[in-house]
């Protein structure tokens, strides 16, 4: 499903800006379909059991201390099936969550952080604007993890990449190859990956991304990145004589 | 802040173990039952093990040797002294291990940051790694707290949802691998905790004057919390015992602070693309509170993201005149230093940002001499004498002033 804006007539309402969190509103049917996908996740029933309104999750939540974010509101909107609020949360709140799972302190046994994970997945699968915006600047990370099997690499510590981390990071950048060769474990002499990953292992990883639909999800948020990854993986699998 | 330890102990002995309502009571038993039904294979603990207690009383066994090191991409990539210290400790204690090439990251950092994956993909990545370990006969030891927490979640999902098992089994069949899970999912800090007595017996540096504050990692003790190590002897069993147990076994003093439960501010996507949140949270809710309430010499923690965030976030806060300036190490690095490891060749402290030198001086380590030794190593690499350094180099076997007969690196890499 592709999320599209509500009709022009709705958007023309003269007394009220018709948007949600800065993005165009969508028809209620679309919101219901999005929530149906959330409810349809196999984990959903284990993540939501009701809400005592106690606020323990909010007290424990780091994002609630910094943003206008509330894990309690996440659980309550899902429990009430309030599709308007859920849509607003998908266009805004869910990307503020730290995914630390402090909210698992919930005495009712809820997992608001887990609900956020599901909502994010649905947002990505549907190419929602908030997902695209949240992942701006993140493409190189997705490329790294999906193509090399390791998420962060030594060469990400570029001289100008993390200026707020202090001059020591620039020292690492300036001496990267030498300092990597000085590491005792022979698996860690790499600069473009955290450790040396076997080629056969990458082939297995590519098969997993393709067989489980994880690669397809990228197409909804970054079509260019998807094309690059698809070509890379298909070429590598063809070299191995693997037919999909 | 006082924890009513005695009252909690009395209540616990009167009421018996608490039941974990949100995660499986005994995932090990569930796995063995699924194995009996032919649904999956369970890799068994097959070497000497230490039994520890988890949050709700379930006993968990920690295999001591013959371990398959599931490395952390964040540790290996940005704080490599974290990984090398874990390896070094294992070599120091004389336990064999395997450092594999056929391992991928758990990919959970990306999953929790971008959600560009799904339960089947995440479970397949986990099981592929477990299958790689199973093929070698070495038992998995997970370096990263997020990998550990995520894999516990994956295990719960594979146990609970037959349709997910079927999907993952089909993917694994295409890879020519079985659906296999280990009998226990073990974090390296649990191995350190279980062996803290053996580790402390090798201590050569006095750390009794060192005051430590501990940050327990969220993904260690909050995801599937029932499987984390707790012990009534530490915080009355109300917090995880790992890290604190090691620090006390080594003889240092653990100083408490009120925001211990708060996360470090890592945030997964935030640390990479929204760092104003990470910096603010790490310094205002953690480092400054530690300084004001505990004033430690060092912050110890046991996860990739926590070391990164707490260490790297202090530079910008210092520029704003905030009350920061604490070195941040992993428990493995601290233990390695206490056992005589080289601060640069092994612990790789030059990759850290917050100033660790006052801590080294308090531990009796001449960091200037150590840095000069490391610079000598680098000159050997630059001159082409060697392409790479190895464990013998880390032990300083080429040092001119090395006493004859000093111990060198053992031969433990397979």
| Residue A223 pLDDT | 95
Residue B201 placed within a domain: no
> Shortest Cα distance from B195 to chain A (angstroms)?
22
pLDDT tens per residue, range B113-124: 999 999 999 999
- Cβ of B352 and A168 within 8 Å? yes
Residue B173 sits in the same domain as residue B253: no
Residue B33 sits in the same domain as residue B181: yes
* Host domain of residue B165: 28-188
Q: DSSP E strands: which ranges in chain A?
A: 19-20, 23-24
Pair type for strands B59-63 and B49-53: antiparallel
pLDDT score of B36 more than 60: yes
Residue B13 placed within a domain: no
Residue B2 placed within a domain: no
pLDDT bin (cut points 50, 70, 90) of residue A95 is very high
CA distance linking residue B182 with residue B166, whole number of Å? 18
At B59, phi and psi to the nearest 5? -85, 140
Residue B386 placed within a domain: no
Comparing CA positions, the residue from A185, A196, A156, A153 lying closest to residue A173 is: A156
- Cβ of B222 and A101 within 8 Å? yes
Residue B62 placed within a domain: yes
Q: What is the largest CA-CA distance in chain B?
A: 69
> Shortest Cα distance from A13 to chain B (angstroms)?
35
Enumerate residues 6+ apart whose C-beta is below 8 A from B379: none
pLDDT bin (cut points 50, 70, 90) of residue B24 is confident
Residue B109 placed within a domain: yes
pLDDT tens per residue, range A4-47: 655 544 444 444 456 888 888 999 999 999 999 999 999 999 99
Residue B45 sits in the same domain as residue B85: yes
Task: Let me know: does A61 contact A47? Beta carbons within 8 Å.
Answer: no
Enumerate residues 6+ apart whose C-beta is below 8 A from A210: A233, A237, A244
| Residue B414 pLDDT | 40
- Cβ of A138 and B114 within 8 Å? yes
B71, B100, B313 member nearest A194 (Cβ)? B71
Domain ranges for chain A: 11-134, 139-239
Rounded to the nearest 10°, the torsion over CA B49, B97, A193, A241 is: -100
pLDDT tens per residue, range B364-411: 999 999 999 999 999 999 999 999 999 999 998 877 665 544 444 343
Kindly state the helix (H) or strand (E) to which residue B355 belongs, with its residue range.
none
Residue B326 placed within a domain: yes
Q: What share of chain B has pLDDT > 90, as a percent?
A: 89
The ipTM estimated for the assembled molecules is 0.94
- Cβ of B312 and A166 within 8 Å? yes
Mean model confidence pLDDT for chain B: 93
Task: Let me know: does B35 contact B42? Beta carbons within 8 Å.
Answer: yes
Question: Angle between the B304-312 and B145-160 helix axes, to the nearest 10 degrees?
Answer: 140
CA distance linking residue A201 with residue B71, whole number of Å? 15
Residue B162 sits in the same domain as residue B226: no
- The 3-state DSSP class for residue B212 equals strand
pLDDT score of B143 more than 80: yes
Q: What share of chain A has pLDDT > 90, as a percent?
A: 82
Among B73, B239, B314, B387, pick the best mutation site for testing chain A contact (most A Cβ within 10 A).
B73
Comparing CA positions, the residue from A92, A69, A101, A86 lying closest to residue B156 is: A101
Pair type for strands B67-70 and B97-98: parallel
CATH number at residue B262: 3.40.50.11810
Residue B168 sits in the same domain as residue B286: no
Pair type for strands B298-301 and B253-254: unpaired
10 Å Cβ neighbour count for B366?
12
A150, A211, A221 member nearest B77 (Cβ)? A150
Residue B257 sits in the same domain as residue B147: no
Residue B139 sits in the same domain as residue B281: no
| Residue B3 pLDDT | 60
Region A132-160: what's the mean pLDDT?
92
Whole-structure pTM value = 0.93
| Residue B262 pLDDT | 97
CATH number at residue B146: 1.20.1050.140
Our count of domains for chain B comes to 2
Q: Where is mean pLDDT largest: A9-18, B14-23, B298-307?
A: B298-307
Name which CATH class applies to A11-134: mainly alpha
Mean model confidence pLDDT for chain A: 92
Residue B86 sits in the same domain as residue B115: yes
Residue B96 sits in the same domain as residue B183: yes
> Shortest Cα distance from B394 to chain A (angstroms)?
7
Q: What is the largest CA-CA distance in chain A?
A: 68
pLDDT score of B413 more than 50: no
Q: What share of chain B has pLDDT > 70, as a percent?
A: 91
Task: Let me know: does B335 contact B193? Beta carbons within 8 Å.
Answer: no
- Cβ of B104 and A214 within 8 Å? no
| Residue A15 pLDDT | 47
Residue B135 sits in the same domain as residue B254: no
In this complex, how many residue pairs, one in chain A and one in chain B, have their CB atoms less than 8 Å apart?
Answer: 266
| Residue A5 pLDDT | 59
CA distance linking residue B110 with residue A25, whole number of Å? 29
Region B48-59: what's the mean pLDDT?
96
> Shortest Cα distance from A78 to chain B (angstroms)?
18
**CB < 8 Å to B75, chain A:** 194
Residue B177 sits in the same domain as residue B278: no
A187, A196, A214 member nearest B121 (Cβ)? A214
Residue B378 placed within a domain: no
Residue B164 sits in the same domain as residue B250: no
pLDDT tens per residue, range B164-183: 999 999 999 999 999 999 99
Least confident of A116-120, A179-183, B354-358, B405-409: B405-409
- Cβ of A98 and B77 within 8 Å? no
In DSSP terms, A32 is beta-bridged to none
In DSSP terms, B213 is beta-bridged to B299
Place of tokens 């209540």: B11
pLDDT tens per residue, range A180-206: 999 999 999 999 999 999 999 999 999
> Shortest Cα distance from A81 to chain B (angstroms)?
22
Domain boundary among B325, B340, B367: B367
Region B78-93: what's the mean pLDDT?
98
């Amino acid at each position: 499903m592709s999320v599209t804006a509500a009709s022009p007539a709705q958007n023309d309402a003269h007394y009220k800006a018709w948007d949600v969190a800065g993005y165009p509103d969508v028809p209620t049917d679309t919101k219901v379909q999005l929530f149906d996908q959330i409810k349809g996740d196999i984990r959903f029933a284990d993540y939501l059991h009701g809400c005592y309104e106690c606020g323990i999750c909010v007290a424990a939540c780091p994002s609630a201390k910094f943003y206008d974010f509330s894990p309690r509101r996440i659980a309550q909107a899902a429990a009430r099936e309030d599709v308007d609020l859920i849509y607003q949360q998908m266009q805004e709140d869910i990307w503020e969550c730290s995914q630390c799972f402090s909210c698992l302190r919930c005495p009712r046994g809820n997992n608001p952080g887990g609900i956020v994970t599901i909502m994010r997945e649905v947002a990505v699968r549907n190419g929602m604007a908030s997902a695209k915006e949240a992942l701006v600047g993140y493409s190189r990370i997705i490329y790294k993890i999906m193509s090399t099997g390791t998420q962060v690499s030594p060469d990400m510590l570029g001289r100008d990449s993390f200026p707020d981390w202090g001059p020591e990071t620039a020292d690492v950048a300036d001496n990267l190859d030498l300092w990597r060769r000085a590491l005792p474990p022979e698996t860690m002499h790499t600069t473009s990956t955290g450790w040396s990953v076997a080629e056969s292992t990458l082939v297995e990883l590519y098969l997993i991304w393709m067989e489980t639909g994880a690669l397809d999800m990228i197409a909804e948020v970054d079509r260019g990145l998807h094309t690059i990854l698809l070509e890379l993986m298909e070429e590598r699998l063809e070299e191995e004589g693997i037919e999909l | 802040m006082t924890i009513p330890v005695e009252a909690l102990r009395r209540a616990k002995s009167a009421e018996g173990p608490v039941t974990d309502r949100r995660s499986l009571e005994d995932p090990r038993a569930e796995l063995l039952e699924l194995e009996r039904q032919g649904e999956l294979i369970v890799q068994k603990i097959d070497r000497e093990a230490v039994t520890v207690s988890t949050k709700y009383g379930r006993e968990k066994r920690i295999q001591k040797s013959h371990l398959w090191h599931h490395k952390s991409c964040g540790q290996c990539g940005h704080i490599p002294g974290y990984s090398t210290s874990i390896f070094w400790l294992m070599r120091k204690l004389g336990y064999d291990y395997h450092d594999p090439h056929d391992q991928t990251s758990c990919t959970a950092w990306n999953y929790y940051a971008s959600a560009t994956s799904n339960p089947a993909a995440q479970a397949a990545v986990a099981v592929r790694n477990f299958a790689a370990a199973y093929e070698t006969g070495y038992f998995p030891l997970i370096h990263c707290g997020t990998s550990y927490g995520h894999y516990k979640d994956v295990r719960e999902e594979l146990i609970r949802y037959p349709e997910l098992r079927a999907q993952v089994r089909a993917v694994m069949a295409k890879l020519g691998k079985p659906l296999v899970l280990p009998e226990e999912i073990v974090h390296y800090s649990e191995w350190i905790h279980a062996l803290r007595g053996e580790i402390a017996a090798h201590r050569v540096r006095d750390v009794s004057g060192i005051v430590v504050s501990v940050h327990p990692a969220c993904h260690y003790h909050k995801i599937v919390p029932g499987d984390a190590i707790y012990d009534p002897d530490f915080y009355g069993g109300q917090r995880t015992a790992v890290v604190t147990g090691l620090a006390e076994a080594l003889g240092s003093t653990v100083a408490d602070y009120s925001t211990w439960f708060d996360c470090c501010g890592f945030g997964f996507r935030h640390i990479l693309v929204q760092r104003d949140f990470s910096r603010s949270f790490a310094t205002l809710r953690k480092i400054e509170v530690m300084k004001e309430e505990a004033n430690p010499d060092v912050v110890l923690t046991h996860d990739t993201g926590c070391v990164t965030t707490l260490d790297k976030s202090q530079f910008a806060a210092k520029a704003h005149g905030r009350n920061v300036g604490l070195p941040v190490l992993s428990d493995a690095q601290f233990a390695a230093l206490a056992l005589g490891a080289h601060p640069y060749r092994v612990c790789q402290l030059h990759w850290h940002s917050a100033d660790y030198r006052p801590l080294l001086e308090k531990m009796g380590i001449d960091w200037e001499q150590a840095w000069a030794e490391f610079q000598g190593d680098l000159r050997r690499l630059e001159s082409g004498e060697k392409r790479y350094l190895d464990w013998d180099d880390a032990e300083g076997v080429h040092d001119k002033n090395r006493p004859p007969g000093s111990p060198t690196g053992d031969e433990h890499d397979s």
